Amino acid sequence: KNKNKVTRERSDEYYLIHLCNDILDQKAFHQFTFEDLVGDEHKKNRKTTALPLDAYYPELNLVLEFLEEEREPSANPKKIERLTVSGVTRAEQRKIYQKRKQIYLKENQIFLIEIRYSLFEQDERKNLLRNREEDILILKNILKKHIK
């Protein structure tokens, strides 16, 4: 579990959120969930899981979601075709959940900014190069309405 936490904290998402924290002079809640923003029912027990938001700034009434470009299909066709409990592929389920988040936040008057990783310089494996100065300029432009 600790290994997953360390890996997550070294991720491009966390890197960008920390830059946003500095720019906004606020500390985001990472992977924040609202009790009533949930995914589809689980197959076995009819429970649902709250859908996590990448970064939530309650004082600013702001959510940041970091979006990846659609990736090349996996080399494993079984994995591509495998359906979720909802009867759709994992890629389609991600789209459905992102739309669900958009609707929920709009209905609750929480401002949403979706930031595409493709805005930032990346290597051939789609990892951010992490040019701090350039990344900050891009984020400042995106967040300009929320900077104090």
Helices (H), the chain: 2-9, 12-24, 77-81, 90-107, 132-143
- Cα(66)–Cα(114) distance, rounded to whole angstroms? 6
The pLDDT tens digits for 103-119 are: 999 999 999 999 999 99
pTM of the model: 0.86
The pLDDT tens digits for 57-92 are: 999 999 999 998 765 555 555 665 678 877 888 889
Bridge partner residues of 116 (DSSP): 67
Which residues are CB-contacts of 115 (< 8 A; sequence separation ≥ 6)? 16, 64, 65, 66, 67, 139, 142
pLDDT at 122 over 60: yes
- Tokens 């709250």 found at: 50
> Between 89 and 145, whose confidence is greater?
145
